[in-house]
């Protein structure tokens, strides 16, 4: 039986990696809900909805890769309640680039779980609505369709020859686990990378000729704030692979902030990094592993979980196996665990908080309509302090992930939020 444990890196974590000098580019990142003026409870609800959608896509992808009906059947929990629904964007962070000559803007979902870089192109026969104008390959002097005998065309799982005579171009069909797909023409064009919003000379524009999918038929779970997807996986067609860099780093801003951040691929100038990032505290690293059954994904070795000073009693085989089963996924914000592991972590957390969970329709600790699974009612004195603008002292136990070579104590704000305060009279 194959199980996939999805570790969806929390949005407040700035991830960083070393890289070879002299080969880097920088691009601007924005959160999907940045600048929408939404209240905090609504932002949390939307985050939870996106994480559910991402989890469904990931589990379906795993099932597709393993026809065995027992594969990826292990039930998982992520601390998500029953709230959510409605029209909610399903991407998490967008990479802002320009394509073509002259350059035209695109906004691509950053996806460490796939390889292809693609955007919608004119003429669009059946496409989702997008806020930015469609990319028109005919308007770019540097656009070139890739021939179907090109090695990068053969690198795609589903590709064929289109056109007639001597102009036989590479036509691709790229599927995602949730049945979303893009169909179009594989091409090369000039990509323009630039610094974050403040600009300046620290991170000048970089232009690279890259292979990408010019999508003419795109269906599925896509939203108007994106134009396509930037695959950051390990495959030959991913953005890091095409840039020939061995590492990339990103700073993810909180969903409660409207500011943008950046992603760096390879050895960007040191001044650019230092002007946009500030790393504090002890620096530790854990190796990124490979799993032959999912060669494009980035796996970690998660050995155990602690709540406070107590190591959660989880059977070792639930987190560890012959092949790594924990992945980093940029497309969601909620950490997802096998159900029995989640319940053990939840029980240890409840025991140490020292307050009774709220009872609701979703089960012990869940509140009807809430996006999250576990909620507590603060004592009246703490609620009054909060109402008066003072932060109440609540004992929140530390939550630590024990990785290979590193113990990662998560910031409290990454797993505990004050949703609302109600004072009964």
pLDDT mean values, one per 10 residues, the chain (425 residues): 36 33 74 71 68 61 38 42 43 90 95 93 92 96 94 89 70 85 96 65 71 95 89 94 88 72 72 55 83 89 91 77 77 78 90 78 46 71 54 78 91 74 50
Looking at the fold, whether 106 and 208 belong to one and the same domain comes out as: yes
What's residue 186's pLDDT?
96
Looking at the fold, whether 379 and 239 belong to one and the same domain comes out as: no
Final residue before a domain boundary, out of 276, 308, 337: 276
Q: Is 363:407 a contact under the CB 8 Å cutoff?
A: no
What's residue 159's pLDDT?
86
Looking at the fold, whether 136 and 257 belong to one and the same domain comes out as: yes
Looking at the fold, whether 307 and 258 belong to one and the same domain comes out as: no
DSSP string across 6-50: EE---TT-EE-----BT--EEEEEEETTTTS---HHHHHHHHHHH
What's residue 334's pLDDT?
75
What's residue 68's pLDDT?
33
Q: Is 103:190 a contact under the CB 8 Å cutoff?
A: yes
Cα separation, 272 vs 204, whole angstroms = 9
Looking at the fold, whether 145 and 262 belong to one and the same domain comes out as: yes
What's residue 367's pLDDT?
45
Is residue 423 situated within a structural domain?
Answer: no
Is residue 292 situated within a structural domain?
Answer: no
Is residue 419 situated within a structural domain?
Answer: no
Helix (H, G, I), strand (E, B) or coil at 334: coil
Looking at the fold, whether 248 and 333 belong to one and the same domain comes out as: no
Q: What are the φ/ψ torsions at residue 252 (nearest 5 degrees)?
A: -95, 120
Choosing from 33, 115, 189, 329, the catalytic residue is 329
Looking at the fold, whether 384 and 313 belong to one and the same domain comes out as: yes
Active-site residue, 111 included: yes
Q: Is the dihedral of CA 19, 21, 24, 26 positive or negative?
A: positive
Is residue 74 situated within a structural domain?
Answer: yes
Looking at the fold, whether 224 and 133 belong to one and the same domain comes out as: yes
Q: What are the φ/ψ torsions at residue 41 (nearest 5 degrees)?
A: -60, -35
What's residue 20's pLDDT?
38
User: How many C-alpha atoms does 174 have within 13 Å on its Cβ side?
Assistant: 28
Is residue 397 situated within a structural domain?
Answer: yes
Tokens of 416: 């505990």
Tokens of 155: 């690198």
Number of domains in the chain: 2
Looking at the fold, whether 216 and 253 belong to one and the same domain comes out as: yes
Cα separation, 272 vs 25, whole angstroms = 10
Is residue 421 situated within a structural domain?
Answer: no
Is residue 176 situated within a structural domain?
Answer: yes
Q: Is the dihedral of CA 331, 260, 196, 141 positive or negative?
A: positive
CATH number for the domain that contains residue 244: 2.40.70.10
Cα separation, 147 vs 166, whole angstroms = 10
Is residue 208 situated within a structural domain?
Answer: yes
What's residue 307's pLDDT?
95
Residue 278, preceding bond cis, omega within 30 degrees?
A: no
DSSP string across 75-100: -EE-SB-S---SS-----EEEEEEET
Cα separation, 304 vs 181, whole angstroms = 36
Range of the domain at 117: 5-276
Looking at the fold, whether 201 and 328 belong to one and the same domain comes out as: no
Looking at the fold, whether 258 and 364 belong to one and the same domain comes out as: no
Looking at the fold, whether 196 and 336 belong to one and the same domain comes out as: no
Choosing from 111, 115, 189, 373, the catalytic residue is 111
């Amino acid at each position: 039986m194959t199980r996939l444990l999805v570790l969806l890196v929390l949005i407040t974590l700035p991830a960083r990696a070393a890289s070879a000098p002299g080969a880097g580019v920088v691009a601007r990142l924005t959160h999907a809900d940045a600048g929408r003026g939404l209240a905090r409870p609504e932002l949390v609800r939307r985050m939870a909805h996106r994480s559910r959608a991402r989890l469904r896509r990931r589990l379906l992808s795993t099932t597709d890769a393993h026809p065995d009906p027992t594969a990826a059947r292990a039930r998982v929990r992520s601390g998500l309640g029953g709230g959510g629904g409605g029209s909610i964007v399903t991407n998490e962070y967008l990479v802002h680039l320009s394509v073509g000559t002259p350059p035209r803007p695109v906004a691509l979902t950053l996806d460490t779980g796939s390889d292809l870089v693609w955007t919608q192109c004119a003429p669009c026969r059946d496409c989702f609505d997008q806020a930015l104008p469609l990319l028109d390959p005919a308007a770019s002097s540097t656009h070139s369709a890739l021939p179907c005998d090109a090695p990068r065309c053969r690198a795609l799982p589903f590709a064929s020859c289109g056109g007639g005579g001597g102009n036989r171009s590479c036509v691709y069909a790229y599927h995602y686990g949730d049945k979303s797909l893009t169909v179009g023409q594989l091409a090369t064009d000039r990509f323009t990378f630039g610094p974050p919003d403040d600009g300046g000379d620290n991170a000048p524009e970089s232009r690279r000729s890259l292979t990408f999918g010019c999508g003419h038929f795109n269906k599925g779970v896509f939203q108007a704030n994106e134009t396509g997807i930037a695959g950051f996986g390990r495959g030959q067609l991913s953005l890091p692979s095409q840039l020939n860099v061995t590492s990339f780093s990103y700073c993810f801003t909180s969903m409660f902030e409207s500011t943008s951040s950046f992603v760096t691929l390879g050895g960007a100038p040191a001044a650019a990094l230092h002007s946009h990032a500030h790393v504090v505290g002890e620096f530790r690293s854990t190796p990124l592993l490979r799993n032959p059954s999912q060669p494009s994904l980035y796996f970690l070795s998660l050995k155990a979980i602690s709540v406070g000073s107590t190591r959660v009693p989880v059977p070792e085989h639930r987190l560890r196996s012959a092949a790594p089963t924990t992945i980093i996924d940029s497309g969601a914000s909620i950490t997802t665990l096998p159900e029995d592991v989640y319940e053990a972590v939840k029980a240890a957390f409840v025991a140490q908080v020292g307050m009774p969970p709220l009872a609701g329709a979703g089960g012990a600790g869940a509140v009807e309509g809430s996006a999250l699974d576990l909620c507590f009612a603060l004592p009246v004195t703490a609620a009054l302090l909060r109402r008066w603008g003072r932060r109440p002292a609540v004992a929140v136990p530390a939550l630590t992930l024990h990785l290979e070579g590193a113990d990662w104590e998560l910031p409290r704000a990454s797993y505990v939020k004050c949703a609302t305060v109600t004072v009964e009279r």
